[in-house]
Amino acid sequence: MSLIQKLAEFTKSKSDDGLFILPETYGEGYIKSFNFGTQLNMMISQCEFKEEMIIKRAGGNSRKDEITFSFRNLFQQDKTQNPEGLALKRSIAMPSVQVSAGDIDIEVIIPEKTKINTIVITIHMDLLKSWISDKAENKFLNTITLSDKPYLYDQIISNEIEQVASKIALVNNEEELSHFYLKLKTEEMIYLFLSELSKRETITNYPLNVADVKAMYAIKETLCSDLSNPPDLTHLAFISNMSESKMNKLFKQIFGNSIYNYYQALRMNEAAYLIREEKLSVSETGYRLGFSNLSHFSRIFEKHIGLKPKKYSAVSTS
């Protein structure tokens, strides 16, 4: 049973041609699904629940050849609206994409009154393999095809992916060739993600269980909740109920970076947003994110974003 079918059953309402409108008694927004043949589909969610929701996806052998790409916390601009009339608002959480095997159990807790802005793409492994040349060395495909263990990876979303996602959300589904356009953009989202993932030095696949996954995402949430203070690894290991070595190994496997480097990447993405969208000065941005030395802030910003913050500010306002 699909997510739309489960929500329609839970809310005692109906879906129409893959479109589910959340009843006002449960919240606001919509979920829309698109099928591009038997091996590729996409689902867009832009909604907000009045009460906490727990969504579980049970794995199993019937789904072991499916790969799910979940692009989360998208649509950071609030200047436009999509065809359903829902404003595209920025989420507090950092935009990221999670890719997982169909046979891994996933549990997502959605807090009450939290904006959900996601695009979920599911593709059959055989179709993805057919897109990539036999001669091409792809670390992700090699890892998942040479192992029978469930896998899960998470990557901070690039600006390119965000731009494609915004184009998808703004498509008028009544327009001619819109379905064809969405299929092309779905494929582009997968390509851009695999390009980002291939930049990792190594792609490992240590055994994971539900408790491990929950612990790693709890660490991520802790990092996101306070970008002005560096992470305390000893404390994080204690609350995760595991050794520092295991914690560091699993975190790097899922998120592609050490905990501290991932924290710095979150900080710099937030700094770029504050300069670009909130129009904060470089000094205001640095101090808000816990930097007392602005020269140090400038060096780290340039390392992650590619421009010094003053140059980035000038380019963003031009």
152-205: pLDDT as tens digits: 889 888 878 988 998 998 888 888 899 999 999 999 999 999 888 888 877 777
Which residues make Cβ contacts (< 8 Å) with residue 73, sequence separation at least 6? 91, 93, 94, 95, 96, 117, 118
pLDDT at 76 over 80: no
The alpha carbon of 291 is separated from its chain's Cα centroid by a whole number of angstroms, namely 27
29 & 165 share domain: yes
286 & 216 share domain: yes
Q: In the numeric block, which tokens belong to residue 190?
A: 């997968």
pLDDT at 291 over 90: yes
User: What CATH code is carried by the domain that includes residue 283?
Assistant: 1.10.10.60
Arithmetic mean of pLDDT over the chain: 84
Highest mean pLDDT among 139-148, 154-163, 280-289: 280-289
| Average pLDDT rounded to a whole number, residues 293-315 | 93
Q: What is the pLDDT of residue 240?
A: 93
135 & 190 share domain: yes
| Average pLDDT rounded to a whole number, residues 140-160 | 77
117 & 244 share domain: no
Got the DSSP string for 74-137? -----S-B-TT--B----SSPPEEEEEETTS-EEEEE-TT-EEEEEEEEEEHHHHHHHS-TT--
155 & 215 share domain: no
64 & 131 share domain: yes
Q: Give CA–CA dist 34/174, Å, rounded.
A: 13
136 & 161 share domain: yes
Of 261 and 158, the structure prediction assigns the larger pLDDT to: 261
Highest mean pLDDT among 77-81, 102-106, 132-136, 256-260: 256-260
315 & 245 share domain: yes
Domain end residue (candidates: 171, 205, 239): 205
Of 246 and 105, the structure prediction assigns the larger pLDDT to: 246
Residue 53 main-chain phi, psi, to 5 deg: -120, 140
Q: Give CA–CA dist 208/205, Å, rounded.
A: 8
Q: What is the pLDDT of residue 62?
A: 60
12 & 52 share domain: yes
193 & 222 share domain: no
Domain end residue (candidates: 190, 205, 220): 205
318 & 169 share domain: no
**Taking Cα atoms as reference points, which of 157, 145, 143, 154 lies closest to residue 253?**
154
pLDDT tens, residue by residue, 208-225? 888 898 899 999 989 988
pLDDT at 111 over 90: no
Of 91 and 167, the structure prediction assigns the larger pLDDT to: 167
DSSP reduced 3-state for 310:
helix
Is the distance from CB of 272 to CB of 305 less than 8 angstroms?
A: yes
Number of domains in the chain: 2
- Please compute Rg for the chain using Cα positions: 20
Task: Identify the domain containing residue 178 by its residue range.
Answer: 1-205
| Average pLDDT rounded to a whole number, residues 272-295 | 92
Domain end residue (candidates: 205, 223, 238): 205
118 & 184 share domain: yes
Predicted confidence band at 103 (pLDDT cuts at 50, 70, 90)? low
